[in-house]
Amino acid sequence: MKKVYLKRKIAQRIAGGHPWIFANEVERVEGGPVAGDVVEVYFHDGKFAGKGYFNAQSQIMLRLLTVDKKATVNDDFFLQKIKECWSYRQQIGYVENCRLVFGEADGLPQLIIDKFNDYFVIQTLALGIDVWKPALVKALQTVFKPKGIYERNDVPVRELEGLPQQKGFLSEPFDTKIIINENGLKFHVDLENGQKTGYFLDQQDNRRAIQNIVKGADVLGAFTYTGTFEIHAAHYGAKSVLGIDISENAVAQANRNAELNGLQNVVKFEVANAFDVLKQWGKEEGKRYDVVMLDPPAFTKSRANIQKAITGYKEINLRGMKLIKPGGFLVTSSCTNLVQPDLFLKIIDMAAKDARRKLRQITFQAQSSDHPIIWNMENTNYLKFLIVQVV
């Protein structure tokens, strides 16, 4: 067996079960493994640490799959893993649409599988898991007998692993424009060209959390994408809903989603730059709302630009608060794990002080539970969702 030995001084997170091992934590490599091979990993004193996939080309040289020395990493290993992931989702009530596999949180580093009823979308973001793609497809076919499987590996992070960006069918071709059900509503999903895997499943629980505050309200949604929060607001009894997004394609799909649910008379979507609009409308006395919802993209994907993200989140939340009537509500999110929950709350607090508004917390949540959070694994705790009353 090809083996890797770790240095004496390594990050405590490895002994604590974190699956990532960086190149500068490796003492020596034996057996001549090539990129993508599964290797045995040992601590400096010779104790077994686990088995995982190896890639000397990557900054993260090793990603552990198991700490069981007797485990054999083969097709059946991945079949059992998929069965375990599905059992967990069923136990917690996610059976129609869900993140079936959430990478490291499910013991399958850099693997994402989203389930949209009978259709599945796969992302294999590291070479070590990419080589097992045929086994994963076989496992999905065995467990689910799906109508279709699609690959969305059109993501730059693959290039860090020496992998090309690509997308396409992993099953017989099918119509990648589907309709899913969520919380009693229907939404168009474009598996081929939509963002990420086609739809943001991680907010499905949070979208229900707005149902009481939007009744009879005038609602503004910024960074609306395909309109899911805004359509939920209309469905839950808002008087009027306006959603804005800079993408013409997203706005067009949002309007189609409104029509699909018969809510086009309540909710409207327009193409606009949210930063510009929030700043401009804050100067206009007539532009005030009962509820403002902000669901921006990640403002940074590297620690080097964390200050840029802090500035961006503070700015949009400050502008949003200024548009809220006294006693109204702010619904706001951040989807980057680099901004941890305590920092996010500090940013909102700074924005409130600059806006000279007082906040009353209604709820503070993470992503939906089909995206499990593993304690001491920071990258699994990435989504922050906050509702506050602005007084």
Question: What is the reported pLDDT for 280?
Answer: 92
pLDDT of residue 336: 87
Single-letter amino acid, residue 76 = D
Residue at 31: amino acid letter: G
pLDDT tens-digit profile of 223-254? 999 999 999 999 999 999 999 999 999 999 99
Alpha-carbon distance of 231 to 77, in angstroms, equals 41
How confident is the model over 244-283, as pLDDT tens digits?
A: 999 999 999 999 999 999 999 999 999 999 999 999 998 8
128 falls within a domain: yes
Range of the domain at 16: 3-66
pLDDT tens digits for range 82-115 = 999 999 999 999 999 999 999 999 999 999 999 9
With a cut of 90, say whether residue 10 has pLDDT above it: no
- Same domain for 220 and 111, yes or no, is no
pLDDT at residue 344 in the model: 95
Domain-located, residue 193: no
* Beta-sheet pairing, 148-153 with 119-124: parallel
For range 331-351, the mean pLDDT: 94
Give the residue from 15, 39, 66 where a domain finishes: 66
So what's the pLDDT on residue 297? 85
Mean pLDDT of 209-219: 98
Number of structural domains, the chain?
3
Domain of residue 44, CATH code? 2.30.130.10
Give me the residue label for tokens 């949003």. Answer: 320
Give percent above pLDDT 70 in the chain.
100
Same domain, yes or no: 56 and 169: no
Point out the domain boundary residue: 125, 143, 176. 176
Q: Does 187 fall in a domain? A: no
Average pLDDT, integer, range 285-311: 87
* Mean pLDDT across 307-324: 93
The answer to the question of residue 335 being in a domain is yes
Report the CATH number that the domain containing residue 132 is assigned in CATH: 3.30.750.80
Rounded (10°) angle between helices 133-144 and 75-91: 50
Q: Whole-angstrom Cα distance, residue 29 to residue 41?
A: 9
Long-range contacts formed by 242-249: CB under 8 A, 24+ apart = 242/267, 242/268, 242/269, 242/270, 243/267, 243/268, 243/269, 243/270, 244/220, 244/269, 244/270, 244/271, 244/272, 244/274, 244/277, 245/269, 245/271, 245/272, 245/274, 246/271, 246/272, 246/273, 246/274, 247/271
CATH of the domain at 349: 3.40.50.150
Q: What is the mean pLDDT of residues 9-34?
A: 92
Q: Is residue 150 domain-resident?
A: yes
- pLDDT of 1 reads 78
pLDDT at residue 369 in the model: 97
Over 80: is that where the pLDDT of 303 sits?
no
243 and 364 within one domain: yes
Q: What's the whole-number mean pLDDT along residues 294-315?
A: 86
CA distance readout (Å), 286 to 203, 209, 255, 266, 391: 31, 28, 25, 19, 18
**Rounded-to-integer distance, Cα 257 and Cα 243, Å:** 12
On whether both 86 and 60 belong to a single domain, the answer is no
Round to whole Å and give the CA distance between 233 and 377: 33
Torsion over CA of 167, 172, 177 and 178, rounded to 10 degrees? -130
User: Do residue 138 and residue 167 come from a single domain?
Assistant: yes
Instruction: For residues 306-325, give the mean pLDDT.
Output: 93
Residue 239: what pLDDT? 98
Q: Residue 165: pLDDT above 90?
A: yes
Q: What is the pLDDT of residue 144?
A: 98
One domain for residues 93 and 152:
yes
- Structure confidence at residue 345 (pLDDT): 97
Based on the fold, state whether residues 46 and 123 are members of the same structural domain.
no
**Same domain, yes or no: 375 and 338:** yes
Strand partners, 188: 179
| CA distance readout (Å), 187 to 78, 111, 193 | 31, 25, 15
Identify whether 136 is part of a domain.
yes
pLDDT at position 290: 98
Instruction: Give the per-residue pLDDT at 43.
Output: 94
**Whether residue 93 is found in the same domain as residue 53:** no
- pLDDT at residue number 173: 98
> Within 10 Å of residue 145's Cβ, how many Cβ atoms?
8
Q: What is residue 286's predicted lDDT score, i.e. its pLDDT?
A: 78
The torsion region of residue 341 among left (phi > 0), alpha (psi -120 to 50) and beta comes to: alpha
Within-domain flag for 172: yes
> How high is the mean pLDDT of the chain?
95
Please, are residues 260 and 299 in contact by the beta-carbon 8 Å criterion? no
* Distance (Å) of CA 19 to CA 14, 16, 181: 7, 9, 35
Within this chain, do residues 83 and 163 fall inside the same structural domain, yes or no?
Answer: yes
Tell whether 33 and 52 lie within a shared domain: yes
Strand blocks (E) in the chain: 3-6, 20-22, 26-30, 38-42, 48-54, 60-66, 97-102, 111-116, 119-124, 148-153, 166-169, 177-182, 185-190, 218-222, 240-245, 267-271, 289-294, 324-334, 359-365, 384-390
Q: What is the mean pLDDT of residues 205-212?
A: 98
Residues 338 and 229 in one domain: yes
pLDDT in tens, 122-141: 999 999 999 999 999 999 99
The two three-digit tokens of residue 91, written as one number = 């136990």
Q: Is residue 36 part of a domain?
A: yes
Residue 363 clears pLDDT 90, i.e. is over it: yes
